[in-house]
Amino acid sequence: MSENLTMHTDKYQINMMYAHWVQGSQNEQAVFEVYFRKLPFGNGYAVFAGLERVVRYMQSLRFGDEEIAFLREQEEGYTEAFLDALREFRFTGQLDAVPEGTVVFANEPLLRVTARIFEAQLIETAILNFVNYQTLIATKASRIKQVAGEDGLLEFGTRRAQEADAAVWGARAAYLAGFHATSNLRAGMLFGIPTKGTHAHAWVQGHDSEEEAFRKYAEALPDQVTLLVDTYDTLRSGVPNAIRIGKLLEKQGKRMNGIRLDSGDLAYLSQEARRMMDEAGLHYAGIVASNDLDEGIIFSLKGQGAKIDVWGVGTQLITSGDQPSLGGVYKLVAREKDGELIPVIKISGNPEKVTTPGRKDIYRIVNRETGIAEGDYLTLAEEGPLNTEEPLRLFDPIHHYIQKVVQRYDALPLLTAVFRDGALVYELPTLEEARSYHRGQLALFWPQVLRKTNPAEYRVNLSDAAWELKMAMIAEHTI
């Protein structure tokens, strides 16, 4: 199967490209912005992810012989001249994006594409596909991280993931947001994520006794012994057998990592197992828990005083069980007319669906005294950089009466230049760098914004100029 992702797009993009080409408008500039309208999971923030994949994709866009041959067969009857134009296709435009790991909110541009309409249209589908999934999983992982605190977090989802790409990019998103390791070796190879593994029930079932299974495993991997203790009876057989192996290892001067619990009442079993291992002198042995965990169950287990050191989280994380998609959109905000970029709007009866016209920049307004972010601030790009010496009035674009004035603040631009005239001008951070940048991002927000349940709302505000343009265009289009 071809690995070329150029055709990973909706047919209507090619149809629009064709129609532009037929009418001769294919070289006109267009500006599209990617944003989502509603935070997932009722969370107070999202964690942006997907940029690395977007960059690799945009660098590799090529219509080769196979792609052209396939398009030639389509019922639309694309002409040979158009297909020849596709052969020359390269991304030659501008991409700006927030860095991966940035804490982001609804209704602010995460990526901004300024390019020939011919190019900007093709890439919509793939960009949304990558960014929506990866941002969703990074946000889910971040919620889990918020409740797990300093405990270990292992990503175990591959077997339940929506196919192979989701497994590895989801594992990457989880690591970005603070997980410590993945069980997926390919994700480890591709992205340098630390990998971890215990063993399955099959290992125990495949021996005459649990004790024999544990012993053989410890003989084979004496430095990585985490024993799954729930195949038969966790407290009567699994934990005592694991303790026996722990003692054997001590005689060889080694220490077992610990045990894994995978069913039953994880609070009670972990407390009992902890007591039994402590009484046997295995204070150092840790307890891993798994079994359809999510942030709600982990929160509850911690509240019950569960003695769990490491959480293995699979299905609920990798499939984003409680919300299967993020509704990120790619909206046209400006287009070229008579050689100038003019703003465009999309009106809707639902105020949240009315687009904010114009090519925009975004700043995070950080209070110099507290070091905490007061709100995000959207400006029209042509307004230029903010003069932070002047007080800034922040007002919510939907609930206009919610206002505040900030003084002594820094305005951190969130959008970074990624492509200029088709050339990559952004040095992609390593995954470790993105992960530690993300940790730093969280420090910019009050805990109220970060809490899992009923978080405080962090506002994304519009500049006066952006607001006035929006109001004027709504008036112009309302009969």
Ligand X SMILES: O=P(O)(O)OC[C@H]1O[C@H](OP(=O)(O)OP(=O)(O)O)[C@H](O)[C@@H]1O
Ligand Y SMILES: O=C(O)c1cccnc1
Ligand Z SMILES: Nc1ncnc2c1ncn2[C@@H]1O[C@H](COP(=O)(O)OP(=O)(O)OP(=O)(O)O)[C@@H](O)[C@H]1O
**For ligand Z, which is the closer residue by CB, 230 or 361?**
230
183 binds ligand Y (CB under 6 A): yes
Task: Pick between residue 201 and residue 451 the one whose CB is nearest to ligand Z.
Answer: 201
User: Does 2 engage in binding with ligand Z (CB under 6 A)?
Assistant: no
From candidates 4, 89, 125, 197, binder to ligand Y by CB under 6 A: 197
Q: What ranges in 73-209 are assigned the alpha helix state H?
A: 80-87, 117-122, 124-148, 163-176, 185-191, 201-205
Handedness of CA 101, 102, 107, 112 (dihedral sign): negative
CB-nearer residue toward ligand Z: 292 or 382: 292
Nearer to ligand X, 64 or 321 (CB): 321
Q: Which is nearer to ligand Z, 114 or 183 (CB)?
A: 183
Question: Helix (H, G, I), strand (E, B), or coil: what is residue 408?
Answer: coil
Among 312, 343, 375, 455, binds ligand Y (CB under 6 A): 312
Say whether residue 156 binds ligand Y (CB under 6 A). Answer: yes
- For residue 318, the minimal CB distance to ligand X (Å) is 8
Q: Out of ligand X, ligand Z, ligand Y, none, which partner does residue 201 contact, by CB within 5 to 8 A per kind?
A: ligand X
DSSP 234: I
The one-letter amino acid code at 474 reads I
Residue with smaller CB distance to ligand Y, 154 or 462: 154
- What Cα–Cα distance (Å) separates residue 119 from each residue in 18, 28, 90, 359? 11, 10, 8, 17
* 358 Rama class: left (phi>0) / alpha (psi -120 to 50) / beta: left
Closest approach of ligand Z to the CB of residue 218, in Å = 24
Select the binding partner of residue 313 from ligand Z, ligand Y, ligand X, none (C-beta < 5 to 8 A, by kind).
Answer: ligand X
Backbone angles phi, psi at 116, to 5 degrees: -55, 140
Is 151 near ligand Z (CB under 6 A)? no
Q: Does 59 bind ligand Z (CB under 6 A)?
A: no
**According to DSSP H, which parts of 252-324 are helical?**
266-279, 295-303, 315-318
Q: Are 172 and 100 in contact (CB under 8 A)?
A: no
Q: How far apart are CA 129 and CA 361, in angstroms?
A: 23
- At closest approach, how far in Å is the CB of 242 from ligand X? 16
Binders in 244-303 for ligand Y, by CB under 6 A: 260, 290
Contact string (CB under 6 A) for ligand Z, positions 300-329, x = contact: xx--x-------------------------
Residue type, 209: S
| Residue number with CB closer to ligand Y (290 or 356) | 290
Residues 6 or more apart whose CB falls under 8 angstroms from that of 289 comprise 260, 261, 262, 266, 270, 301, 306, 308, 310, 311, 312
- Would you say 243 or 293 has its CB closer to ligand Z? 293
Cα–Cα distance for residue pair 272/278, rounded to 1 Å: 10
Q: Does 267 interact with ligand Z (rule: CB under 6 A)?
A: yes
Provide the binding-site residues for ligand X, judged by CB under 6 A.
156, 159-160, 200-202, 262, 290-293, 312-316
Binding partner selected for residue 301 from ligand X, ligand Y, ligand Z, none, CB under the kind-specific 5 to 8 Å limit: ligand Z
Name residue, tokens 């709007």: 345
CB 262 to ligand X: min, Å: 4
Cβ closest to ligand Z, residue 304 vs residue 407? 304
| Length of the chain, in residues | 479
Q: Using CB under 6 A, which of the segments 86-94, 199-207, 218-226, 297-305 binds ligand Z?
A: 297-305
Secondary-structure percent of the chain, ordered helix, strand, coil, rounded to 5: 40, 20, 40
Q: Helix axis angle, 210-220 relative to 239-251, nearest 10°?
A: 30
Minimum distance of ligand Z from residue 319's CB (angstroms): 14
Amino acid letter at 218? Answer: A
Radius of gyration from C-alpha coordinates of the chain: 26
Least Å distance between CB 160 and ligand X? 5
Cα separation values, 193 from 154, 175, 178, 199, 335, Å: 11, 7, 11, 20, 41
Stretch that binds ligand Z, among 88-96, 187-195, 203-211, 299-307 (CB under 6 A): 299-307
Among 263, 323, 367, 388, binds ligand Z (CB under 6 A): 263
Q: Which does 286 bind (CB under 5 to 8 A by kind): ligand Z, ligand X, ligand Y, none?
A: none
Query: Which does residue 264 bind out of ligand X, ligand Y, ligand Z, none, counting CB within 5 to 8 angstroms by kind?
Result: ligand Z
Using an 8 Å Cβ cutoff, are 35 and 109 in contact?
yes
Could you say whether residue 388 binds ligand Z (CB under 6 A)? no
Q: 369-374: which pairs have CB atoms within 8 A and are 24 or more residues apart?
A: 369/408, 371/443, 371/444, 372/444, 372/445, 372/446, 373/444, 373/445, 373/458, 374/404, 374/406, 374/409
The least CB distance from residue 179 to ligand X, in Å, is 13
Give me the residues that bind ligand Y (CB under 6 A), please: 156, 183, 197-198, 260, 290, 312, 314
Give me the residues that bind ligand Z (CB under 6 A), please: 263-267, 291-293, 297, 300-301, 304
